Amino acid sequence: MTVPTTAAIDELSEELSPGSVLTDPEILASYERDRELWASAVAPLAVVRASTVEQVSTVLRWATRHSIPVVPRGAGSGLAGAANGVEGGIVLSLEAMDQVLALDPTDQYAVVQPGVVTAELKRLAAAHGLRYAPDPGSAEFCTIGGNVATNAGGLCCLKYGVTRDSVLGLEVVLADGRILRLGGRTVKDVAGLDLLGLFVGSEGMLGVVTEVTVRLRPAPRSVATLVASFDELAAAGRAVAGVLTEGRPSMCELMDAPTLRAVEEYRPSGLDTDAAALLLVQTDDGDVEAIERCARACEEAGAGFVMTTQDEAESELLTMARRTALDALEAQGQWLLDDVCVPLSAVPDLVAGCQEIGTRHGVTVACFGHIGDGNMHPTVVFDHGDIAAESRARRAAEEIARLGLHLGGTVTGEHGVGLAKRDLMAEQVGPVHLDVQRAVKEALDPAGILNPGKSLG
């Protein structure tokens, strides 16, 4: 039975605890979109702040009953429009479910609620001599639930993998309100189909994550960092091949000239702004020789300047320079950020191609990212309010994603599909793949209430 939406919202308010259902227009507007600026977004009818799994279950049963779309949401730091509000829907915020429920140093796992901020889990693990390895650039403000739903990557994937590689178990509420438990506390588990893997990266379209058991690992023994600058991008590409063979790095990041200039202007730290590219490499296993071997690989590839440090504070400062890349570019103007991942050998062609595309369209393209994974974030920057530049920037961004495909890569390495990459994903995976994805969605969410319109259309 369908009832008018306002009556349905009143019904939900009565079923949940007081204060859980928010309808203040200012609050609704603040939950309209994530950090991606271009995809369509609609203010939700209500924001529901869940604090228990039972409440999440109640919300989804109610939504299925009334065919009301539900957009699950963590911190809204996503870069694909995946958490944007949809027509006639509500936003289900998991921010208030922010407790660490258990941490076991012997078996090296923690059980957390989805609203726990990633960096807080990392700090807690560190206090027990352990590490939670996934390290998105947004760690200080994104949530574990959002990381699971996007299968977030980051700076340390090179050695420790993506979020999926650190998820041992999940509790998920299905669209009909049933609670599904997946995995457990063991590193290995092949009992049945890999449903855990199916839910990681499902962008809120298959279920709502209400609890995550994460794998912890021993804390790094000591960190050593290398900075190398290059007069030409191709030389930096050659250096990466050498670095990956020599050092087993935990991080291998690149910033090109436009990124370097923006970062130095934003927060001066003595970066070489005349360089064509700067590599930032880190090792963390106490093998002090490794970083020196990486330094030699950079010199052999033609680096103009190479510096290494084992000082933690200095290492942190250098890493911060890379983490501020997007904020620094934001200070330069309006931006459109891409997330192309290509085979390693194709990275120099990708970066050179981005520069050519930028020149042809009369916009700046700044390239930075996780070069050790082949995952770059070419970012088109143009002046605020310049409508002509905006349409050139959009064409440039689309060409960059297609260049990634042409080079044998993917249109999204870690940010996800959401709304921003929906059409390009369809182009990449083809009709059979899409049919299978839709069959899975139909089986788990026949009423289509979970994050409709995203990714699968």
> Using CB under 6 A as the criterion, which residues of the chain lie in contact with ligand FAD when the complex forms?
34-35, 71-79, 82-83, 94, 114, 136-138, 142-143, 145-147, 149-150, 152-154, 203-204, 208-209, 326, 414-415, 451
Nearest residue (CB) to ligand FAD, 144 versus 240:
144
Q: Mind spelling out the 3-state secondary structure of 317-354? A: HHHHHHHCHHHHHHCCCEEEECCEECCHHHHHHHHHHH
Strands (E), 371-413: 375-376, 379-382
Contact 318, 225 (CB under 8 A): yes
Shortest distance in whole angstroms from residue 120 CB to ligand FAD:
12
Parallel, antiparallel or unpaired: strands 90-93 and 47-49: parallel
**Minimum gap (Å) between residue 200 Cβ and ligand FAD:** 10
Q: How far is the CB of 301 from ligand FAD (least distance, A)?
A: 25
Rounded Cα–Cα distance for residues 286 and 133 (Å): 17
Residue with Cβ nearer ligand FAD (158 or 235): 158
Q: Which is nearer to ligand FAD, 156 or 303 (CB)?
A: 156
User: Helices marked H in 169-311 — which ranges?
Assistant: 195-199, 233-247, 257-266, 288-301
- Minimum CB separation from ligand FAD for residue 60, in Å? 11
Q: At closest approach, how far in Å is the CB of 154 from ligand FAD?
A: 4
Q: In the bound complex, what is the minimum distance in angstroms from residue 79's beta carbon to ligand FAD? A: 5
Nearer to ligand FAD, 112 or 240 (CB): 112
Q: What single letter denotes the amino acid at residue 8?
A: A
Nearer to ligand FAD, 8 or 206 (CB): 206
Identity of the residue, 78 or 301, whose beta carbon is nearer to ligand FAD in the bound complex: 78
Short-list 350, 353, 389, CA closest to 369? 350
Contacts of 201 (CB under 8 A, 6+ apart): 149, 150, 151, 164, 416
What angle do the packed helices 53-66 and 5-15 form, to 10 degrees?
A: 160
